[in-house]
């Protein structure tokens, strides 16, 4: 990740136990950084990548200093190495990324990995901390969001591209995971990309 490129010890930030708790009270310094970052994003039509990364890095470090296991980096790195992804699962994940329709047939994916369905599910969960279904859904959401930001791609086409046989199935899936329909999401993106959004601030 880019965090580890900035500071090598942050390689451990990818460990599932890096933040022991799902939420925490932000210290005063971190809260000020959040407010500064939010203000910058509201008033600036475009933020230089290096400035944005710097602000996010400062916020991450202010939070990680008090609420993560950053000080136990050596222990986490050792654990991370022992939990590295099985090569068969790595190949399966690559196939899932290349073809989102795999999300409907894990038995086929297991067979191509030379594993029984039960063993495939067990090994997948051990390697990624997610079930194949949850991982596939995350890939679909990620791909859908990326394509909805491209107005030239019709929502019906996006539905098929991310693995759904009918737009209605895609709409229900999207609403279930994000709380709004694909059309509503696209309208928000279009508004934020227009000059009207900044005129209202």
Q: What is the number of domains present in the chain?
A: 2
User: Where is average pLDDT lowest: 24-38, 78-92, 120-134, 164-178?
Assistant: 78-92
**Residue among 6, 4, 12, 14 at smallest CA distance from 50:** 6
157 shares its domain with 196: yes
**Domain stops at, among 50, 81, 112:** 81
**pLDDT tens, 71-105?**
555 454 445 444 567 889 989 988 988 888 876 78
Tell me: do 64 and 95 sit in the same domain.
Answer: no
| CA 10 – CA 82 distance, rounded (Å) | 17
Tens digits of per-residue pLDDT, 172-184?
999 988 888 999 8
Residue identified by tokens 């490129």 is 5
Q: Is the pLDDT of residue 1 over 90?
A: no
> What domain range includes position 153?
86-201
Question: What global pTM score does this model have?
Answer: 0.57
Statement to judge: residues 60 and 145 lie in one domain: no
């Amino acid at each position: 990740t880019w965090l580890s490129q900035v500071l090598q010890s942050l390689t451990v930030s990818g460990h599932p136990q890096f933040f022991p708790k799902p939420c925490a009270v932000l210290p005063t310094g971190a809260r000020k950084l959040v407010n500064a970052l939010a203000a910058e994003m509201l008033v600036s039509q475009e933020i230089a990548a290096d400035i944005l990364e710097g602000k996010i890095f400062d916020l991450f470090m202010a939070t990680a200093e008090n609420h993560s296991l950053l000080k136990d980096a050596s222990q986490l790195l050792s654990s991370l190495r022992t939990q590295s992804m099985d090569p068969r699962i790595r190949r399966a994940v690559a196939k899932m990324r290349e073809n989102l329709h795999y999300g409907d047939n894990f038995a086929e994916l297991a067979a191509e990995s030379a594993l029984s369905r039960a063993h495939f599910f067990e090994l997948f969960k051990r390697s990624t901390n997610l079930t194949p279904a949850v991982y596939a859904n995350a890939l679909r959401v990620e791909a859908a969001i990326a394509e909805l930001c491209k107005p030239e791609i019709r929502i019906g086409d996006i539905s098929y591209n991310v693995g759904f046989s009918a737009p209605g199935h895609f709409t229900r899936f999207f609403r279930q995971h994000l709380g709004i329909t694909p059309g509503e999401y696209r309208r928000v993106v279009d508004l934020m990309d227009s000059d009207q959004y900044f005129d209202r601030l």
